[in-house]
């Protein structure tokens, strides 16, 4: 999905997308590869009439009065179209000037499109004082659109620091050079004792702020390019046939496309948050580290995403993707140029590490509309009343009040809207009032509410919501695993109920559970997904045998459950006979959302990993790797927040949730792998009382995370088939 979430942002994206489609079709891009584009390019006036050059600039200078988030949305759409010319460099330059002074005179000409500007992120320029003026000398290499710009915003070394200075092109020597991307020309820029007044120095723009603005907006264009590469590879995989079927049906291609969208979504989330963070700082200057951290995360992830997706797009296309005539040529060149424009890419993960281990990562929270404050006050008062109840009575009151799973309909929940659910979670946390932990039962409850009889609901929901009834999930089988449609546990109809025989495996907590959610085949003649029934199984029934399955950690969280001719009465069928697949999908949906949005307690958390890095000693290679992992972990949290906000906006949260599950589990594994490898020979120490042993336990336990709840391979299939629309396996 693009950066935009709310209606206004989606409308802006749609408007820009329409313009880009008109002014930069494929034939225009290929013509620009061979022939220098005019300056300004043909679309410049149309973009100005639409207000795009000034979307982020103050209304006092003729802009639209929006912010960096809106500009990022525009630039992502320009990236999707690989629009030629200086639009993006000029927009970045104007954003730098506006960050220093939103009413600067030159911004009026930039907002109207009468003047083109550009910028550089690094330079070899130095300045000496000459009265009230500066004398600038040196060279800046490979400045994008330098030969097309009238104004350049360049960093200059002054004394022991660095300032950004606004220079006129006519005072500089500009040498155009061949660009890896002919659609975005570059030039070397030299200053030979150029004198400028102090009024040309952006004194209010810190080095950190400038680099955050530049890297965030470059990252926005990156994700537009990455989204094009993902969409184009997917579209081709749907129609290109080999060996008698679409190549998108082959798992190698399917998983490659799924990984492309996962990388793109993660980078998109990071860019969205970085742009928001810069705007928040502009409106309420507080801790600069918050937006600098967010921008460094985006700059760590976006260049990787744009390079990998454009490379994989060529790979999916095969030989045709390697031809000059194909659009993959255009977009890969843009990706290469963009990656170079960030400067030294190792700087960004280092910045992530430095900020995370000093002042801490940017805090993520959902800001709600002020109109919700009345509702918040009401909920806060009710939470306070619950806190005042004696502890032995409080759990029952919380359960009976519908606070445990508040989105459920009354009386089991509160029929809470998404906004109300967020406020409830925030207020219970702020008030330090603990709600009963549902564990695996959280995946059962929605199914009982949706499909259970009145008697089943009254019998099972109250004690489960109080945390008194423990459940396990009897789905997976030795020969089925994630392929639930292939299960062989058989239920035979008898007088008053069913006789069930079979074997289940990987059953978490079965040795402690009173009840189990059981899938069994009741019609062997029906197609795979039909003929399955959902049962509620009393784990104390005759014929149920639980054998803890000692896993590689040495512990026994999982179990094998043998079901030998166990009688289950008719009133323990949940939903209709032979319709259990429909019921199970409700359970599995709840499961995947739950796993994807939490960090399991037996894995290291992002905070724990940051603490480990803070307390350790690592070389630059190690710090770079750690910075990448912290950026990945932080972006996974942003994906979860975007999923929630999409729900609030009435959108589909499942893309972000499915991708978050895939990526967050992998990142958790990488935390542990990094830690254990950093111990050297001490990585062989397994004593859990030592840091080495603790991380070794994390490492061992982490191997399960990309298996349970749907393996990573299954998740990739889901992403490819449900989100990208690639054909299912035959």
pTM of the shown model: 0.89
Residue 591 confidence (pLDDT) above 70: no
What are the tens digits of pLDDT across the range 47-85? 999 999 999 999 999 999 999 999 999 999 999 999 999
Read off the pLDDT of residues 671-691 as tens digits, 9 standing for 90 and up: 999 999 999 999 998 888 898
Q: How far apart are CA 168 and CA 116, in angstroms?
A: 11
What are the φ and ψ backbone dihedral angles of 497, each rounded to 5 degrees? 175, -145
More confident position, 111 or 589: 111
Per the CB < 8 A criterion, the answer to whether 604 and 695 are in contact is yes
* Per-residue pLDDT tens digits for 502-522: 999 989 899 999 999 999 999
* Bridge partner list, 122: none
pLDDT confidence band for 603 (50 / 70 / 90): confident
What's residue 596's pLDDT? 40
Extract the tokens encoding 463: 């004690």
Mean confidence (pLDDT) of the chain: 91
Tokens of 441: 């039962």
Determine the Cα angle at 635 with ends 674 and 218, to 5°. 110
Report how far residue 137's alpha carbon sits from residue 125's, in angstroms, rounded to the nearest whole number: 6
For 536-563, what is the mean pLDDT?
Answer: 93
**Contact between residue 103 and residue 35 where contact means Cβ atoms under 8 Å apart:** no
- Dump pLDDT digits (tens) for 400-441: 999 998 888 899 999 888 788 888 888 888 888 999 988 889
pLDDT of residue 592: 39
DSSP per residue over 267-278, as a string? HHHHHHHHHHHH
Domains contained in the chain, CATH given = 7-114 (1.10.540.10), 119-200 (2.40.110.10), 208-358 (1.20.140.10), 370-432 (no CATH), 445-594 (2.40.110.10)
Structure tokens at 243: 């060996």
Q: pLDDT value at position 379?
A: 93
Q: What is the mean pLDDT of residues 509-536?
A: 92
Task: Report the pLDDT value the prediction gives residue 653, as an integer from 0 to 100.
Answer: 64
Q: Which of 260-269, 329-338, 518-527, 623-632 has the lowest mean pLDDT?
A: 518-527
The secondary structure of 351-378, three-state, reads HHHHHHHHCCCCCCCCCCCHHHHHHHHH
Region for 369 from its dihedrals, namely left if φ exceeds 0, alpha if ψ lies in -120 to 50, beta otherwise: beta
Percentage of residues of the chain with pLDDT beyond 70: 95
Higher pLDDT, 62 or 654: 62
pLDDT higher than threshold 80 for residue 586 = no
User: Could you tell me the two tokens for 300?
Assistant: 């760590």
């Amino acid at each position: 999905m693009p950066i935009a979430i709310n209606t206004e942002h989606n409308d802006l994206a749609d408007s820009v997308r329409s313009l880009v489609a008109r002014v930069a079709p494929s034939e225009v891009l290929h013509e620009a590869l061979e022939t220098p584009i005019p300056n300004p390019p043909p679309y410049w006036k149309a973009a100005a009439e639409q207000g795009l050059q000034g979307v982020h600039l103050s209304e006092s200078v003729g802009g639209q009065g929006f912010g960096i988030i809106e500009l990022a949305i525009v630039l992502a759409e320009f990236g999707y179209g690989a629009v030629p010319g200086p639009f993006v460099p000029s927009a970045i330059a104007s954003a730098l000037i506006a960050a220093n002074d939103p009413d600067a005179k030159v911004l009026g000409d930039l907002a109207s499109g009468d003047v083109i500007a550009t910028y550089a992120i690094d330079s070899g320029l130095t300045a000496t004082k000459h009265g009230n003026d500066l004398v600038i000398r040196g060279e800046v290499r490979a400045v994008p659109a330098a030969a097309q710009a009238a104004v350049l915003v360049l960093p200059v070394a002054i004394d022991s620091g660095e300032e950004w200075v606004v220079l006129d092109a006519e005072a500089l020597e500009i040498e155009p050079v061949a660009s890896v991307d002919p659609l975005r020309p570059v030039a070397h820029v030299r200053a030979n004792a150029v004198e400028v007044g102090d009024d040309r120095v952006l004194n209010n723009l810190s080095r950190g702020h400038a680099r955050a603005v530049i890297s965030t907006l470059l990252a926005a264009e990156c994700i537009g390019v990455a989204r094009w590469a993902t969409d184009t590879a997917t579209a081709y995989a749907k129609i290109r046939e080999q060996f008698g079927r679409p190549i998108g049906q082959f798992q190698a291609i399917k998983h490659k496309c799924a990984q492309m969208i996962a990388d793109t979504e993660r980078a998109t989330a990071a860019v969205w948050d970085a742009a928001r963070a810069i705007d928040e700082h502009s409106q309420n200057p507080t801790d600069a580290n918050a937006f600098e951290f967010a921008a460094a995360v985006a700059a760590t992830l976006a260049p990787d995403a744009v390079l990998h997706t454009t490379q994989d797009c060529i790979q999916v296309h095969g030989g045709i993707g390697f031809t000059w005539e194909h659009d993959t040529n255009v977009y890969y060149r843009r990706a290469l140029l963009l990656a170079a424009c960030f400067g030294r890419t190792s700087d960004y993960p280092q910045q992530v590490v430095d900020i995370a281990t000093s002042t801490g990562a940017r805090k993520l929270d959902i800001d709600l509309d002020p109109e919700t404050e009345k509702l918040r006050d009401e909920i806060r008062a009710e939470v306070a009343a619950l806190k005042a109840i004696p502890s032995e009575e409080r759990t029952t009151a919380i359960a009976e009040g519908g606070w445990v799973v508040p989105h459920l309909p009354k009386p089991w929940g509160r029929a809470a809207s998404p906004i109300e659910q967020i406020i409830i979670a925030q207020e219970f946390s702020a008030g330090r009032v603990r709600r009963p932990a549902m564990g695996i039962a959280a995946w059962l409850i929605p199914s009982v509410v949706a499909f259970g009889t009145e008697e089943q609901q009254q019998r099972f929901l109250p004690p489960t919501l109080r945390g008194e009834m423990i459940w396990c999930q009897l789905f997976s089988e030795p020969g089925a695993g994630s392929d639930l449609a292939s299960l062989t546990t058989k239920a035979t109809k008898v007088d008053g109920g069913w006789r069930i025989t079979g074997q289940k495996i990987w059953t978490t907590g079965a040795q402690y559970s009173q009840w189990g959610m059981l899938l069994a085949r009741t019609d062997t003649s029906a197609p795979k997904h039909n003929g399955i029934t959902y049962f509620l199984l009393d784990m104390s029934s005759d014929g149920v045998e639980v054998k803890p399955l000692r896993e590689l950690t040495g512990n026994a969280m999982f179990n094998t459950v043998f079901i030998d001719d166990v009688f289950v009465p008719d009133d323990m069928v949940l939903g209709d006979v032979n319709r259990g697949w429909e019921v199970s999908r409700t359970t599995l949906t709840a499961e995947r959302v739950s796993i994807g949005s939490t960090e399991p307690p037996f894995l290291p958390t992002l905070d724990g990993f940051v603490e480990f890095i803070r307390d350790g000693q690592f070389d630059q290679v190690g710090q770079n790797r750690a910075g990448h992992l912290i950026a990945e972990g932080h972006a996974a949290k942003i994906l979860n927040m975007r999923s929630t906000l999409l729900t609030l906006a009435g959108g589909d949260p499942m893309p972000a949730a499915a991708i978050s599950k895939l990526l967050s589990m992998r990142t958790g594994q990488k935390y542990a792998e990094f830690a254990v490898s950093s111990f050297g020979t001490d990585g062989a120490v397994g004593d859990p009382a030592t840091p080495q042993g603790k991380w070794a336990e994390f490492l061992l336990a982490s191997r399960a995370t990309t298996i349970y709840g749907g393996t990573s391979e299954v998740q990739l299939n889901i992403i490819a088939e449900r989100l990208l629309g690639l054909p299912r396996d035959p």
